[in-house]
Structure 1
C-alpha cells in the first residue's frame, strides 16, 4: 500500500503522460489480439481455397496493423520512460529536501549511508518499477483478458486447457515470489551496510593507514560485500526458476492444445486456421502472465524501497518551523539561555542541565570543560540544530523556536568543530553564506582569519580548487578558511566550536587579536579546550557533566572554581597562569 500511495502521489502531476501510456498500450494490445484472427482467415479462407487476392488483401491489412502496432509501442515506451524519469527526479528532490529539514537527531537516527542509499538506489528501484509498469503491465491484463475472450469465441471446450494452465502457473510463481520478498528487504539493508563501511573507510583513510589497518578494513568490506552477494545469489536462484517454469507450462499447454485440437479438426469441429489462432492466444495469455510475473518480481523489492523512502518522508523533524514565525526583532546580537536542559531520546541522563547565561553584543563568552561535558551540544542549540528539551534559548529577545529560520540563521555565523569545505574554489567556499561578496571582502576576511598568506601563495589565489571536504588543505588551513567563511557573512553572533584547535599558539593569538579588532560589535561565543584561547574572554563558563560549575573572568575563576584551576594547571605553568 505504501508503494501505491508513494507512486500515486508523485505521478499525479504527470497524469497526461499516464493517459498517453494507457491509450497507446491499449491500441497495441488490441492490434495484438486482432492479428491472429486475420491470420486464421488467411489459412481457412485464402489458402484453403487458393484465393491469392484474398491472401494479399488480408496480408496487407495485417502489415498496416503491425506497423501501427510498432508505432504505438514506441510512443508508449517514450511516454512511460518520460514518466519514470520524472518520478525519479521528483522523488530524489523530495527526499533531499526533506532530509535538509532534519535536525542532527534525525540524521543520526537514519545514518548518512542509509540516507544516501534511500535517495539513490531505493529511488532507482521504484523508478524501474514504474518504467516496466508502463511498458509491460498496462498491456499484460488487456492481453490476458482479451486472449481468454478471443479463445472462448474460437472454441469453448479447448479453452479448458487455459483454465488449468493459468492457475497452475500463478500458484507456482506465487510460491517463489513469497520467498523472494524477505530476501529483497535483507538485500537493501546489506547495501546500506556496504555503503556505511565504504564511507567510513574512505573518510578515515588516514587513520586506517596510520594504524596499518588496511587488511582489517579490507576484511570488513569483504564481509559486508559477501553478505550482499550471498543474498543476491539466493534471490537470483529463485528468479532463475521462474522463466523455466513459465516455459514448461507454456510448452505443455501448447502440446495439449495441438493434441486435443487435432482430434477436433479430425471430426470437423475446428479448422486449421482456428487452431493456429487459438494456439497464438494461448501463448499471448501465458506471456501476459509471465510479464505480470516479471513485474511481481520487481514489486517486492520496489515495495521494500518504497517503505524505506516513505519512512524518511514521514519522519518529522524534531526542529519544527513555527507556523507564524517572528520576522523582525529589535535587539541585535543578544543571546540568552534560561534554565535550558537537553536530553537525547531514551538517554539515561540529560546532556545539559538547567543552563542560564547571557551573551551580550561586543563581548566574548567562552565555554570550557572536559570532553563530554556538553559544550558542542550547547552551541548547537543556538542555530536550532537541536531544540532544547526544556527551558528557553533566545536570540535577540525571541525564543529561537518562534523565529523565522532564515532570520535566525542569517544572524549566526557557526564555525563547527569539524570544519567542512565543499568542492569548488576558495572563493566559492568563502561566498557560501554571502554569494554577492566582493573579492576585497574575501581578502579582508582571509586577513582577519590569518589565511591571507597561504591563499595568496596558491597559484590561482581565490580561484584555487578545493577538494570535497577540504582534503587538499591542512587541518589548520581548513579551520582558517571556515572562520573566514563565517567572517564574510558578517553575522551579529559568531559561534566558534573549538575552531582554533588546529592552530599553533602564535597564529591563535594573532587571530583572536584580529577578531577583537574587526568584529568588536558582534557577540562572540567561543568553545575551546585550550585556556590560552579564552584567557581574555569577558565571561568564561565552566561546564562539567552538562552543568555550569563556574562563571566569571579568567582571574575570578582562578579564585573561585576548582574545576577551572585544574584545567589551567594541566595546561599552563604557574607563571603563565598568573
Structure 2
C-alpha cells in the first residue's frame, strides 16, 4: 500500500475535484437509501388503506429522490473524470521529468519498451483506478453500513444473515486477491515484451524487408503476443471468480431471508412492506460487497502498476551537480588522470583501464581502435554522460564533476555514432544547436558540414520536412545535418564519434578543412579510416580499453606495429597516404 500512497500523492492538484466527487457519491447514496424506506410506508399504509393521495405523495418523494440521485451521479462523473485524467497527466509528466534527469547508467537499468509501458499502460491503469474505482470505493462502504443499519432497524433477527454470509464472502475475496496479485505484474511484463518486439520491428522494418524476414518476425511477434494472451487469460480466469462467489452468497442470503421472513409474516411478526424494503437493503448490501470485491481487484492491479511507476520516480539520478558548481568552461583542454571505468559496478572487468591523456585546447585529436576498444566509452566521459569509476576527467582545468551539468554539456558538442533527427523540418532540427539562430547562421553551419549542397537542391530548403526520424534523407545527409546542428552550439570541445562514416572521402576532406578553421575548438575524431585522422595533431590508439600508443601519424607509422598494420591494410590498392587531404 506504500506504493499506492506514494503514487496517489500526485492527485493533490485535483483534491477539490476529488473531494467534490466523493461528497456527491455520498449524497447519491443517501437519496437511494431513502427510496426503500418510502416504499415501506407506500405498501403498508397507502396500498393497505387504498389511500391514493398518500400513494401519490410517497411516489412523488421517491421520484424526487431518484432524480436527485441521477443529478448527483452525473455531477460525480464530471468531477471524477477531471480528477482521474488530471492525475494521469501528472503521473506521465512526473515520469517524463524524472527520465530527463537520468544519466545513461540509469537508463541502462530499464529497457525502452518497459519505460514506454510504464508511461502509458501503467499510468492508464492508475487513471482507471480513480475513474472507475472511486465511485464503488466510496459508495460501497456507505451503502454497506447504511444498508446493514437500516436492515437491523427494520428487523434485527433477519439482519443476522449478514453476520453469517459477509465473512464467507470476505474469505473468498482474500483468496482471490492473493492469487491474482502476482499475475497482474506478470501481465504488465508481458506488455513490455510486446512493446519491445513492436519497437524493434518498426525501427528495423527496412532490414526486415531487405532480408525477406517478414515471416520470421511475424513468428517472433506471435510468441510475445501469445505470452500476453496467456498471462491475461490466466489473470482474469482467477479474477472473475469473485462474481460466482458473490452470486452464490447473495442467493443463499435471499433464500434464507425469504424463508425466515415468510415465517414471520405468517405469525404476524412482519409486514409485506417491511419484507420488501428489507430485501431491497439486502440487495444494496450484497451489491456493496460485490463492489468492494471489484475495488480490491482493481487496487490489486493498480498496486502492480504503482510499483512499476514508483521504480521510475524513485530511481536516483546517477549524476548530480556539485554543491557549488563551476558556471563556465574556460577552454577545451582535456585531461584523463588514471581513469578506469566499468558500466556495472562490481563487474570483473573494466571497459577502460588506467587511461592517462593530455589534450591541449584547440588541438585536433584522432582516436583509432578495433571494435570493443572503448573509443565511444572514452569520449562519453568528457561531457559526463557517465562518471569515471576511478580517476579524474578534467575539462578546462576543472574536474567534470565540479561543473554544472548543463554548462559542461553546452561546452562539449558531440556528434553521436547513431545519428538522430526528429520529426519536423530541417530548420527545427538544426535549432537544437542554437534555438535563436537566424537563416544566415544556419546556412553557415550547413556549409561547414557540406550539407548546403543537397539542401540547395531541395524545393523547401531549410523548411523541408524530414519525416519521422529523418526518413526523407540518406545516411550521409543525416550525418552532415547532425554535424551542422552540433556546430551551431559553438562548443569548446567538438567530438565526432565515427560520424563521417556514411560520407565519401572527398566530402569528409571538405568537412575536415572547414573544421580546421575552428582554431580555438578542441576536436576529437573517432574514426575507422586512417585517412580521417592522419592530419590530426595527435592520434590515440586504443586496445582493449587501454591506451596503446599516442603520437602523430608519422611517429606512429615509424614506431608502432599495430598502427603500421592498420595503415597497410587500409592503403592497399594504391591509395595515397592522404597527405593531399
Q: TM-score, normalised by structure 2?
A: 0.96
Match of 1:336 in 2: 335
> Is the contact made by 1:549 and 1:561 (CA closer than 8 Å) also made in structure 2?
no
Match of 1:530 in 2: 529
Range 36-45 or range 316-325, more displaced: 316-325
Match of 1:494 in 2: 494
Range 41-50 or range 532-541, more displaced: 41-50
Match of 2:438 in 1: 438
Residues of 1 paired with 2:162 and 2:575: CA distance?
A: 99
Residues of 2 paired with 1:385 and 1:270: CA distance?
A: 79
Give the Å deviation of 1:378.
0.8
Give the Å deviation of 1:311.
1.1
> Is the contact made by 2:367 and 2:375 (CA closer than 8 Å) also made in structure 1?
yes
Over residues 484-536 of structure 1, what are the superposed CA-to-partner deviations in whole Å (9 max), with x where a residue is unaligned? 1111222221111110111111111111111113x232111111111110110
Residues of 2 paired with 1:321 and 1:412: CA distance?
A: 16
Correspondence list, 1:429-508, <5 A = 429-508=429-508
1:51 and 2:57 matched: no
Give the Å deviation of 1:420.
0.4
Over residues 201-222 of structure 1, what are the superposed CA-to-partner deviations in whole Å (9 max), with x where a residue is unaligned? 2222233233332222211110
1:304 and 2:288 matched: no
Residues of 2 paired with 1:525 and 1:475: CA distance?
A: 21
> Is the contact made by 1:10 and 1:87 (CA closer than 8 Å) also made in structure 2?
yes
Give the Å deviation of 1:151.
0.5
1:103 and 2:83 matched: no
Give the Å deviation of 1:4.
2.4
> Is the contact made by 1:2 and 1:310 (CA closer than 8 Å) also made in structure 2?
no
Over residues 516-558 of structure 1, what are the superposed CA-to-partner deviations in whole Å (9 max), with x where a residue is unaligned? 13x2321111111111101100111111111111111111111
Correspondence list, 1:535-546, <5 A = 535-546=534-545
Match of 1:196 in 2: 196
> Is the contact made by 1:335 and 1:394 (CA closer than 8 Å) also made in structure 2?
yes
Counterpart of 2:539 in 1: which secondary structure?
strand
Residues of 1 paired with 2:497 and 2:489: CA distance?
A: 17
Over residues 218-251 of structure 1, what are the superposed CA-to-partner deviations in whole Å (9 max), with x where a residue is unaligned? 1111011011111111223223433233233223
> Is the contact made by 1:367 and 1:526 (CA closer than 8 Å) also made in structure 2?
yes
Give the Å deviation of 1:575.
7.0
Range 41-50 or range 528-537, more displaced: 41-50
Counterpart of 1:326 in 2: which secondary structure?
coil
Counterpart of 1:355 in 2: which secondary structure?
strand
Correspondence list, 1:15-26, <5 A = 15-26=15-26
> Is the contact made by 2:43 and 2:272 (CA closer than 8 Å) also made in structure 1?
yes
Range 7-16 or range 369-378, more displaced: 7-16
Residues of 2 paired with 1:397 and 1:270: CA distance?
A: 94
1:562 and 2:564 matched: no
> Is the contact made by 1:373 and 1:545 (CA closer than 8 Å) also made in structure 2?
yes
Residues of 2 paired with 1:325 and 1:566: CA distance?
A: 45
Match of 2:546 in 1: 547
Match of 1:222 in 2: 222
Residues of 2 paired with 1:489 and 1:253: CA distance?
A: 75
Match of 2:165 in 1: 165
Give the Å deviation of 1:123.
0.9
Range 86-95 or range 203-212, more displaced: 203-212
> Is the contact made by 1:366 and 1:537 (CA closer than 8 Å) also made in structure 2?
yes
Structure 1: stretches of 5+ with no match in the other structure: none
Residues of 1 paired with 2:40 and 2:425: CA distance?
A: 71
> Is the contact made by 1:336 and 1:395 (CA closer than 8 Å) also made in structure 2?
yes
Name the CA shift for 1:7/1:106 in 2 (closer, same or farther; >3 Å): closer
Give the Å deviation of 1:382.
1.2
Give the Å deviation of 1:170.
2.3
Residues of 2 paired with 1:216 and 1:328: CA distance?
A: 53
Residues of 1 paired with 2:434 and 2:505: CA distance?
A: 30
Residues of 1 paired with 2:559 and 2:469: CA distance?
A: 42
Range 463-472 or range 421-430, more displaced: 463-472
> Is the contact made by 1:25 and 1:72 (CA closer than 8 Å) also made in structure 2?
yes
Counterpart of 1:502 in 2: which secondary structure?
coil
Residues of 1 paired with 2:348 and 2:327: CA distance?
A: 38
Give the Å deviation of 1:6.
2.4
Over residues 81-120 of structure 1, what are the superposed CA-to-partner deviations in whole Å (9 max), with x where a residue is unaligned? 1111111111111111111111222212211111111111
Over residues 160-211 of structure 1, what are the superposed CA-to-partner deviations in whole Å (9 max), with x where a residue is unaligned? 2222222222222332232222221111111111111111122222332333
Residues of 1 paired with 2:381 and 2:290: CA distance?
A: 57
1:33 and 2:37 matched: no
Match of 1:292 in 2: 292
Give the Å deviation of 1:344.
1.7
Give the Å deviation of 1:278.
0.7
Structure 2: stretches of 5+ with no match in the other structure: none
Residues of 2 paired with 1:19 and 1:57: CA distance?
A: 34
Correspondence list, 1:67-466, <5 A = 67-329=67-329, 331-345=330-344, 346-466=346-466
Counterpart of 2:84 in 1: which secondary structure?
helix
> Is the contact made by 1:77 and 1:134 (CA closer than 8 Å) also made in structure 2?
no
> Is the contact made by 2:415 and 2:482 (CA closer than 8 Å) also made in structure 1?
yes
Residues of 2 paired with 1:250 and 1:235: CA distance?
A: 24
Counterpart of 1:489 in 2: which secondary structure?
coil
Counterpart of 1:354 in 2: which secondary structure?
strand
Over residues 59-99 of structure 1, what are the superposed CA-to-partner deviations in whole Å (9 max), with x where a residue is unaligned? 22222222221121122222211111111111111111111
Give the Å deviation of 1:11.
1.4
Counterpart of 1:219 in 2: which secondary structure?
helix
